Structure formats: structure tokens, C-alpha cells
């Protein structure tokens, strides 16, 4: 590991040796990336411009071990283990009984391993409204996350986030434009490039939105007329049945009264 490589990564920290007239010595700390997955490991380089440093090292509450070091102690490479949260690493060297240090902020990330889609409703007419809810659980850092609504792999709409929450939800309100089946999915994209990482993407399972043509004017008229004819038929049947029932009841009443009369009166005059 060359000393020049360390110097390119971070701004130096330096001070002048009092009364010596010598150039100030510098301390550098660097890593290929400043972000690591939760519980992951990270290589960190500490170096100095001092020719004969008395002591140097890396201060952290995390477990670490030395991978390589310069014979005269001008640089050391450490492996920091089990990085579970955002942390600050301190690299220090002592030269001519003077100590100087530089720090490195390291962040952790959680990839979007679980992405879900909720669709409501599952069928609409052309011009009708529908809602898609996209959710990514346990993601960090949220300011690096983008949730997108996809149709056949093409982005229709997206939303970015911020804050300290670990769950992210985006609600997309859409209008159906064509009489077709829409193949919808949600994509979570975690862009870690500003921190020396890479892009991590994950996509939900697809869901189908069925879009149908709205009923035509003639179809509506036919439906209304059919309903009116049905109601009219039921009313006619009810009225005719009621009239027939009253007619039967009236005939039976006259016959019963006739049977109750004495036989003498019931005999017809000869």
C-alpha cells in the first residue's frame, strides 16, 4: 500500500513542530468506501508523513485487527469487524512527541430485501382511478432510496425519501388510460454511489390491473328498459292475481249464503 494512495483520499491534518523549523507532519485515514452493510467488515488505512513515528493506530469501539503495516510504522491497514451502526473511526500518530489525528465517518446500510405492492381496486373502467401502494421495509439510509411504480418494467412514477425511519411507503394515484391489462410492480432502488458503494435494486411481485371499456349509451338504455319491463311485469302479475283472488272470494261468499238459507226458500217456484 503506497503512502501516496492514502494522501489522495482525505484532507491532511498537520501542525508545525515548535522551534524545529521542520515541515509539519500529516495524518491521513482512508477507505475504499465509507459505507458498509450492517454487520459487515471494512478495510481502513492509516498513514503519516512523519519519517519515524513513535506510535500510531486506529481508535474505535469496534473489533479490529492489523492486516499490514510499514516496517517503520508510517502506515497501517486495519480490518474493522461487525460494523452494526454508523460510527466514527479515529486514526492517530505521534511524531517528535507531538500527536495528531484524523477521523473517518462510516455509515451502515440495509438493502431493500422486502418490497410489496398493494393495488386497489383490481379492475377499473377506462378513465377510472386506482391506487398503488409501494412499501420497502427495513431500509437504510432512506435519503438514498427511491421507490418507483413500474408498468412492464418502465417507470411511471417515483418518490424519494428522507429522515430516520427504516420503512418507506409511496402511494401513487393513477388514472386508467387504455382498455388493457396493466402489469404493475414496485421497484426499490438504494443508490450508495455517493458513499463509495453501488446501486442495489429489488422489485416486488407483479399484479395485474384489468382495465375495461365503460358501458355505452345504448347499453345503458337497454339495461334501464329491461329493468322497467321487469318491474312492470311484476306489478301486472301482482294486480291481476289480486283481482282474481277477490273474484274467487266473492263467488264463494254468495254460494255460502245460499246454502245457509232454509230448504223451502231454496226451492224454486214451480
pTM of the model: 0.69
Q: Are 49 and 69 in contact (CB under 8 A)?
A: no
- Considering the chain, what is the average pLDDT of its residues? 84
Residue 249 has pLDDT above 90, yes or no: no
pLDDT at residue 21 greater than cutoff 60: no
* 119-142 average pLDDT score: 95
Task: Write out the three cell numbers for 147.
Answer: 421507490
Handedness of CA 69, 72, 75, 80 (dihedral sign): positive
Q: What value does the mean pLDDT take over residues 87-105?
A: 96
Q: Is the pLDDT of residue 254 over 60?
A: no
Of the chain, the percentage scoring pLDDT greater than 70 comes to 77
Cβ–Cβ < 8 Å for 16, 24: yes
Q: Of 15, 53, 14, 13, which Cα lies nearest the Cα of 30?
A: 13
Amino acid at each position: 500500500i503506497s503512502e501516496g494512495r492514502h494522501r489522495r483520499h482525505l484532507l491532511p491534518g498537520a501542525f508545525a513542530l515548535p522551534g524545529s523549523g521542520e515541515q509539519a507532519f500529516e495524518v491521513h485515514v482512508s477507505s475504499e468506501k465509507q459505507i458498509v452493510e450492517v454487520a459487515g467488515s471494512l478495510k481502513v488505512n492509516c498513514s503519516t508523513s512523519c519519517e519515524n513515528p513513535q506510535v500510531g493506530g486506529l481508535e474505535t469501539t469496534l473489533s479490529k485487527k492489523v492486516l499490514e503495516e510499514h516496517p517503520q510504522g508510517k502506515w497501517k491497514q486495519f480490518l474493522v469487524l461487525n460494523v452494526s451502526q454508523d460510527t466514527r473511526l479515529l486514526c492517530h500518530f505521534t511524531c517528535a512527541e507531538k500527536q495528531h489525528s484524523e477521523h473517518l465517518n462510516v455509515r451502515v446500510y440495509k438493502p431493500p430485501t422486502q418490497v410489496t405492492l398493494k393495488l386497489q381496486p383490481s379492475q377499473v373502467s377506462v378513465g377510472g382511478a386506482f391506487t398503488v401502494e409501494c412499501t420497502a421495509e427495513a431500509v437504510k439510509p432512506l435519503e438514498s432510496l427511491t421507490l418507483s411504480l413500474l408498468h412492464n418494467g418502465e417507470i411511471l412514477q417515483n418518490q424519494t425519501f428522507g429522515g430516520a425511519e427504516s420503512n418507506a411507503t409511496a402511494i401513487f394515484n393513477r388514472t386508467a388510460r387504455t382498455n388493457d391489462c396493466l402489469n404493475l410492480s414496485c421497484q426499490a432502488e438504494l443508490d450508495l454511489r455517493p458513499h463509495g458503494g453501488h446501486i442495489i435494486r429489488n422489485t416486488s411481485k407483479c399484479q395485474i390491473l384489468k382495465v375495461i371499456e365503460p358501458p355505452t349509451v345504448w347499453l345503458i338504455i337497454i339495461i334501464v328498459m329491461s329493468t322497467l319491463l321487469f318491474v312492470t311485469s311484476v306489478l301486472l302479475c301482482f294486480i291481476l292475481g289480486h283481482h282474481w283472488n277477490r273474484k274467487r272470494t266473492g263467488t264463494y261468499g254468495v254460494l255460502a249464503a245460499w246454502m245457509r238459507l232454509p230448504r223451502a226458500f231454496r226451492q224454486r217456484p214451480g
